[in-house]
Amino acid sequence: MTAKIAFQGELGAYSHQACIETRPDFTPLPCRTFEDAIECVRCGEAELSMLPVENSTYGRVADIHQLLPDSGLHIIDETFVRVHINLLVPKGTNISQVTHAMSHTVLLGQCRDFLAKHGIHRINAADTAGSAKHVAQENNPDLAALASELAGKIYGLDVIARHIEDHDQNTTRFLVMSRTKDLTRRGNTGMMTSFVFRVRNIPAALYKAMGGFATNGVNMTKLESYMVGGSFSATQFYAEIEGHPDDKSVQLAMEELEYFTDSIALLGVYPADPGRR
């Protein structure tokens, strides 16, 4: 039986595309929510999960950083997927017939120039591939979808305009999650380490905690804070650094971080994707 990789969304979603490009030997398993995609791995229905964490145009994907610490899963890889947005229509439709386009609000916002130029009105929908599926079912030449070419192939739609996004560097970063971790790997382009921590309630705790990374020459590529437990005083930080926990410089930096924190949880150690270079 082929191993499965879970993702949030309908078949044809950009997460589905990421699964095909990164794990072509796995069978993609669509899930309704991010929580469902995580639970499928946790309960053994799938071996891996593909989760989007940030987009170069839109920013952080909501809720993901809240879900990761308690997921019980480990980050084992990252991948960067170029998001090309396309105008999908029922077969035989001409662009002059299209009056409305539906998609996730993020994609609609990333194609403002194209839609305005052609006088196409926007319709907000839950997701991109779901919009393509709906357009195929409606079979109305007035209605188009903004989605991937993969979605067009799956739902039998024509692509009448390719790569219509306003920004030509639109890219989404995904994390591959697994039930088991592997700290033995060493990537050709370096390693990344992701973790969450909470600082002690002392003056300048965060500033002091970060000092160890600077003095030991460890590059921190991401540091984000968010509230936990519904309290404005309970702040957790999500961080990513270049390096492996076995590196001496990382060991020293983490030891200093530990001194100023109440808790640290390692989320993953994985090869740096060439796409981040």
> Would you kindly state where each structural domain of the chain is located, as residue ranges?
4-82+171-178, 86-161, 191-276
The H or E element spanning position 208 is helix 205-215
DSSP string for residues in 110-151? TTHHHHHHTTPEEEEES-HHHHHHHHHHH--TTEEEEE-HHH
Q: What is the mean pLDDT of residues 18-23?
A: 96
Q: What's the pTM value of the predicted model, to 2 decimals?
A: 0.90
Structure tokens at 157: 């739609």
The predicted pLDDT at position 65 comes to: 77
Model confidence pLDDT, tens digit, residues 197-238: 988 877 888 888 899 999 999 999 999 887 766 666 657 899
Alpha carbons 58 and 68: distance in angstroms, whole number: 20
Mean pLDDT of the chain: 92
Check pLDDT > 90 for residue 266: yes
Check pLDDT > 80 for residue 277: no
- Superfamily, domain 4-82+171-178: Periplasmic binding protein-like II (3.40.190.10)
Alpha carbons 161 and 113: distance in angstroms, whole number: 13
Per CATH, the architecture of 86-161 is what?
Answer: 3-Layer(aba) Sandwich (3.40)
By C-alpha distance, which of 198, 183, 260, 208 is closest to 234?
A: 198
Q: Which of 174, 197, 213, 260 is catalytic?
A: 174
Alpha carbons 184 and 246: distance in angstroms, whole number: 10
Alpha carbons 144 and 158: distance in angstroms, whole number: 10
Q: Which of 34, 172, 213, 260 is catalytic?
A: 172
* Active-site residue, 172 included: yes
The predicted pLDDT at position 87 comes to: 98
pLDDT category of residue 132 using cuts at 50, 70 and 90:
very high
The predicted pLDDT at position 226 comes to: 78
CB under 8 Å to 91, separation ≥6 — which residues?
156, 157, 158
Beta bridge partners of 172: 55, 81
Q: Are 4-82+171-178 and 191-276 equal in CATH topology?
A: no
Cα first-last separation, the chain: 36
By C-alpha distance, which of 239, 250, 242, 245 is closest to 197?
A: 239
pLDDT category of residue 131 using cuts at 50, 70 and 90:
very high
Alpha carbons 201 and 132: distance in angstroms, whole number: 50
62 vs 271, more confident: 271
By C-alpha distance, which of 38, 72, 74 is closest to 183?
A: 74
CATH top class, domain 191-276: alpha beta
* C-alpha distances in Å from residue 31, one per residue of 107, 164, 207: 20, 27, 40
